[in-house]
Amino acid sequence: MVWLMKIVVLDGHVLNPGDLDWSALQALGSCEIHDRTPADQIVARATGADVVLTNKCPLSAETIAQLPGLKFIGVLATGYNVVDVAAAKTRGIAVSNVPIYGTKSVAQHVFALILEHTQHVGAHAAAVQAGRWSRNPDWCFWDSPLVELDGRVLGIVGYGRIGQAVSDLGRAFGMQVIVHSRSAKPGVEQVGLDELFQRSDVVSLHCPLTPETEGLVNAARLGLMKRTALLVNTGRGPLVVEADLAATLNAGLIGGAALDVLSTEPPKPDNPLPTAKNCLVTPHLAWATHAARSRLLNTVVANVRAFIDGSPQNVVN
C-alpha cells in the first residue's frame, strides 16, 4: 500500500444493509461508512478522502472541485451518471464502476414478473389464505386466465448480457425469441423495433438509457402491441413514457405491465403506474439478491485495490 488511504462510503446501506462484510474494504485504509448521506453533507463527509465510494449520492463538478485531495471515485453500481466523469477526468481522478454482477439475478426477476402476470400466484395464494378455497364448491378455482408461455413470442429490446440471459430463460420455457439490438447478434432473429412490439407476447426492455432510447415506449409504440401483451421493464425507468403507459393500461389496450424501475425513485405520490390497471411494480430490487450484492462488493474492493496498486480497473472516464 503506497499510503494510508482514507476511504469514505457515502451511501452503503442498500448495498450492505447488514448481511455483508465490509472488512475487506476496511483493510485497505481508514474507512468511514455511512448508510446514507444527505446532499448538503456530501462535501463535509468526503473532505480529506482519497477514495470516495457512492451509489446514488451525486458527485457533481462543483462537489469534486471542493475535494482537492480526492484521487479515486468508485461507483457501487453499473450506471455512473451520478458522477461528473468529465470533471473528474480533468482533475485526474479515476472513476470506476461495477460492470458485471447482477446478470442472473435480474434475468431471474424478469421471469418472476412474467410468471406472476401469467399465473397470478400471489393473488391466488392470498385468496386461499382468505379462506376462499375452503368455501369453494369445486375442487379448484382461478380468478384470471392462466397463460402457458410455450410457443409465445418474447421480444427483447437490447441484447447485452442481461438480454441474453433473459433469452436463455425464455427458450427454456419454449418461447420464441426475437431481438432488437444496435449490433448484429448471431443465432437470434433480429427485427425492427416496431415489428418487435407488434409481434411479441412479452416485450422486455434491456437497452441502455440514452437520448435515443429515452421514451422509446410511448403511446404510438404501445398502440402496436397485442391487446394481450405484457411489457416488462427492469432496465431504466425513463425508457417508458409513464403517462402513456398508464393511459394504455387503464384503457385495457394491452394485457399488462410489470416494472422494477420508474423514472423517479422512490416514485412521487402522483406517479400513475403503481395504481394503474394490471400493472405490477416492484421497488428496483431485481439486482439485489445476496449473491449479486456480494459480487458487487467484491468488485468494489477489487477496484479500490487495483487503484492503490497503480492499475485502476473498470475505469469509465
Q: Among the options 148, 189, 265, 290, which is catalytic? A: 265
pLDDT of residue 186: 86
* pLDDT band at 3; cut points 50, 70, 90: low
Cα separation of 205 and 58, whole Å? 26
Identify residue 96 by its one-letter amino acid code: S
pTM comes to 0.93
Cell numbers linked to 172: 427454456
pLDDT of residue 185: 83
Where in the chain are all domains bearing CATH 3.40.50.720? 5-101+290-308, 103-281
Tens digit of pLDDT for each residue in 59-100? 999 999 999 999 999 999 999 999 999 999 999 999 999 999
Q: Percent of the chain, pLDDT > 90?
A: 97
Strand partners, 189: 178
Superfamily name and number for 103-281 = NAD(P)-binding Rossmann-like Domain (3.40.50.720)
Answer left, alpha or beta for residue 202, where phi above 0 means left and psi between -120 and 50 means alpha: beta
Cα separation of 276 and 262, whole Å? 13
**205-208-213 Cα angle (round to 5):** 80
Cα separation of 33 and 74, whole Å? 14
Cα separation of 237 and 253, whole Å? 21
Cα separation of 162 and 157, whole Å? 11
Q: Would you say residue 275 has pLDDT above 80?
A: yes
201 and 154 in contact (C-beta within 8 Å)? Answer: yes
The predicted model gives 21-45 an average pLDDT of 97
Sheet holding 202-205, edge to edge: 189-190, 176-180, 153-157, 202-205, 230-233, 256-259, 279-281
* pLDDT band at 1; cut points 50, 70, 90: very low
The predicted model gives 239-265 an average pLDDT of 98
Residue 44, burial from CB neighbour count under 10 angstroms (0-12, 13-18, 19+): exposed
Superfamily name and number for 5-101+290-308 = NAD(P)-binding Rossmann-like Domain (3.40.50.720)
Q: Would you say residue 158 has pLDDT above 50?
A: yes
Cell numbers linked to 227: 391487446
Q: Among the options 236, 242, 293, 295, which is catalytic? A: 236
Tens digit of pLDDT for each residue in 192-238? 999 999 999 999 999 999 999 999 999 999 999 999 999 999 999 99
pLDDT of residue 241: 98
Q: Would you say residue 56 has pLDDT above 50?
A: yes
Q: Among the options 45, 91, 161, 284, which is catalytic? A: 284
Q: Would you say residue 136 has pLDDT above 50?
A: yes
Mark whether 265 is an active-site residue: yes
228 and 253 in contact (C-beta within 8 Å)? Answer: no
* pLDDT band at 184; cut points 50, 70, 90: confident
The predicted model gives 111-117 an average pLDDT of 98
Please give the full DSSP string across 217-254, using - where no structure is assigned. B-HHHHTTS-TT-EEEE-S-GGGB-HHHHHHHHHTT-S
